[in-house]
Amino acid sequence: MLNASYEPINVCTVRRAAILVLKDRAEILERGEWALHAESLTLPRPVVIRLKTYVRIPRDAHRRKITRRAVFARDRWTCQYCGQERGNLTVDHVIPRSKGGGSGWDNIVTSCAPCNRRKGDRLPRQANMVPRHVPRAPSSTIFIHVAAPVIPRAWEQYLAT
């Protein structure tokens, strides 16, 4: 679902998208291959919709939602120490909490279980394990990736990477 300004807001069900279109609150930008059928109506299956009126979204809303899946999506489901993709992933505090590190976006990275155990309760320099990318707060579109880890091709042009 896109805001009136074409900014991605969230992922919704086909049913919710169809209701918004039928109530004339949204328009279909991308259609699916098949249609939705009712007794007296046939509606193209909405894949991307845009709201007709702008909805104000707090700009810092995504900064509050630190979840494991959001961290994994931000780091592209890749260990930030060894580069292994998928597998047995965990989250790691770059600077351990016992050493004064916080639990914000700038101190949490995706780590595979072996790297997390190897680093343990040490600072990156002590363990000789520095994250491949500096951790930082993600863009608001990260929650689209959390809701749908595999992004349909029709969505790509609407998501800023």
**Percentage of the chain modeled with pLDDT above 90:** 70
| Statement: residue 61 has pLDDT above 60 | no
Please, what is the end-to-end C-alpha distance for the chain in angstroms?
17
**C-alpha 56 chain-centroid distance:** 19
| Statement: residue 161 has pLDDT above 60 | no
**What is the amino acid identity at position 51?**
L
Q: What is the pLDDT of residue 78?
A: 95
Q: How much is the pTM?
A: 0.66
Q: Is 131 helix (H, G, I), strand (E, B) or coil?
A: coil
- 25-40: burial string, b at 16+ Cβ within 10 Å, e else: ebebebeeeeebeeee
- Domains, in order of start, for the chain: 1-57 (no CATH), 63-127 (1.10.30.50)
Q: What is the pLDDT of residue 1?
A: 93
Q: What residue spans of 1-152 are helical by DSSP H?
A: 14-22, 61-64, 68-74, 113-119, 124-127, 142-147
- What stretches of 71-148 adopt beta strand conformation (E)? 89-93, 108-112
Q: What is the pLDDT of residue 64?
A: 62
Mean pLDDT across the chain: 90
